[in-house]
Structure 1
Amino acid sequence: MEKIGCKRFGVLLCAEDSEYVIKMHGGYSGVFLKMLEEENETWDMYKVSCGEFPKDDELSLYDGFVITGSCNDAYGNEKWICDLVTLIKKLNSMQTKIIGVCFGHQVLGRALGGKVGRSPTGWDIGVRTITLSSHISFPSLDLPTKLSIIECHRDEIQELPAKAEVIARSDKTGIEMFKYGDHIMGIQGHPEYSKDILLFLIDRLIQRNFIKEAFAIGARERAHLLEPDTNAWKKLCTSFLKNGF
């Protein structure tokens, strides 16, 4: 099968949509499409957490993939997670562009040979400023050295895969972003999220007893201290997925 015509991308959905996100944003796929989709492109959605994957003979049709966040642990051994690790290895061997976000960032680290686990400092929920590495330049993007991003995670990459390089850090997390070759990039935060999604997730985490009300109050307060650099993240992610830097 040959790739013809417009560029084609796939979103690998690793979380179930909530009624709220469906109503307000068209589901998590809609959130990513709002950030990344441009004219003359085809975007396909695969609910990998439900076992829905692109076929091997279709992989060459794609210019790139995005791996979303998830409530699951990237170091878990559920069948779909193991199948996703296998898919990542195939795409890596093909030098296919991949961006991984939160869980996606972590499962990329796992698939490429790194180590993922619980953060020793616990949950990171809110809007956090991260610092881009000084030796990484994005000259065509005109980005500042510090960017604010929405965070909602308690796991992190603890050991970087061999040949990968850290391209952003924060006071909370040592590997906020990494790049592997010129075709794979992981982002621990959520460049695609808006604050309403963050506040919705805080409420859901309370309901599921993942966090306490006292922690949630602090998380909500932190969420109002900074605004995420949405436009800069859109520019960075779109450029990497479609052009590289």
Structure 2
Amino acid sequence: MRIGILQTGDAPKDLLAEHGDYPEMFARLLDGYGFEFRTWRVVDLQFPMDEEQADGWLITGSRHGVYEDHAFLPPLEALIRDAYAAHVPMVGICFGHQIIAKALGGRVEKFAGGWSVGATPYRFDDETLTLNAWHQDQVVEAPAGAERLATSDFCTNAALIYDDRALTIQAHPEFPDRFIDGLIRTRGEGVVPDPLLQQARARLGQPNDSDRIADRIAEFFLQPR
């Protein structure tokens, strides 16, 4: 199965040597499930010809806001709507979670409650999973047709499922603790309040359930349609 990665932003340059960019992180997260990956840098207006050029789409995180004025956002939203209509499965992570919601009629805002950074517990049905987070924006109103899959004390719509067409997650299962530590140094200091950064540092090394989310993502892509 070919997964098209729609890259909407870049990892900090200082972290690339150790971690690679976002597509490499997702390839590691989803290694072993039999996927083939191809990346389109939509942030640079490199788009696929149409929604059928991949068997499934994965939209990455980004430091941009989905409500900002960027040239790549309108064609990305159009591609999302086309894939949704054609039942080509999509997975969205963080920014990807937000842009899918916005494209389908939801509402995303810079959350007045501040930031969520580092290891965070999320309630998925009858279990709690810990995943790394790095966001202030969030989906404050889910689109019609979306079902809430997970929530947290900070983020009501922490994961959404749109029947067999889209699975979106606000957290970052692709971010290992070392990358969170690097983000604290390169993007957090002076932006995220110091107490939140200190709490995130203190949680580094805690058990993390990213592998469980990788299983969910793979199952979603691979389910019969």
User: Could you tell me the TM-score, scaled by structure 2's length?
Assistant: 0.93
Match of 2:16 among 12, 18, 22: 22
- RMSD of the alignment, in Å? 1.9
- CA distance in structure 1 between the aligned counterparts of 2:33 and 2:156, rounded to whole angstroms: 36
Match of 2:177 among 173, 184, 195: 195
The Cα of 1:69 is off from its aligned counterpart by 0.4
The Cα of 1:9 is off from its aligned counterpart by 1.2
Which of the pair has more CA radius of gyration? 1
8 Å contact kept, 1:98–1:184: yes
Task: Please say if 1:10 is aligned against 2:9.
Answer: no
Match of 1:157 among 136, 139, 142: 139
Render the CA deviation track for 1:64-102: whole Å, top value 9, x for unaligned.
011000000012231101221111011111111100000
Provide the residue aligned with 1:142 in structure 2: none
Provide the residue aligned with 1:219 in structure 2: 200
- CA distance in structure 1 between the aligned counterparts of 2:117 and 2:33, rounded to whole angstroms: 34
- CA distance in structure 2 between the aligned counterparts of 1:23 and 1:125, rounded to whole angstroms: 23
Provide the residue aligned with 2:155 in structure 1: 173
Provide the residue aligned with 1:52 in structure 2: 46
- CA distance in structure 2 between the aligned counterparts of 1:20 and 1:163, rounded to whole angstroms: 40
Match of 1:235 among 208, 215, 218: 215
The Cα of 1:197 is off from its aligned counterpart by 0.6
What percentage of aligned pairs have identical amino acids?
27
> Is the deviation greater in 110-119 or in 215-224?
215-224
Provide the residue aligned with 1:107 in structure 2: 99
Match of 1:36 among 30, 43, 56: 30
- Paired residue total: 225
- CA distance in structure 1 between the aligned counterparts of 2:195 and 2:34, rounded to whole angstroms: 47
Render the CA deviation track for 1:195-229: whole Å, top value 9, x for unaligned.
0011111111245x3224444223312345x3211
8 Å contact kept, 1:101–1:187: yes
- What runs of 5+ residues in structure 2 fail to find an aligned partner? none
User: Could you tell me the TM-score, scaled by structure 1's length?
Assistant: 0.85
- What runs of 5+ residues in structure 1 fail to find an aligned partner? 1-6, 135-144
Equivalences for residues 67-106 of structure 1 within 5 A? 67-106=59-98
- CA distance in structure 1 between the aligned counterparts of 2:18 and 2:134, rounded to whole angstroms: 19
- CA distance in structure 2 between the aligned counterparts of 1:117 and 1:102, rounded to whole angstroms: 13
Provide the residue aligned with 1:141 in structure 2: none
8 Å contact kept, 1:89–1:111: yes
Q: Is the partner of 1:79 in helix, strand or coil?
A: coil
Letter in 1 for 2:109: G
Render the CA deviation track for 1:9-34: whole Å, top value 9, x for unaligned.
11111112433443123322111001
8 Å contact kept, 2:12–2:186: no
- CA distance in structure 2 between the aligned counterparts of 1:206 and 1:41, rounded to whole angstroms: 33
The Cα of 1:36 is off from its aligned counterpart by 1.5
Render the CA deviation track for 1:157-206: whole Å, top value 9, x for unaligned.
00010111101111111011001121101100001110001111111124
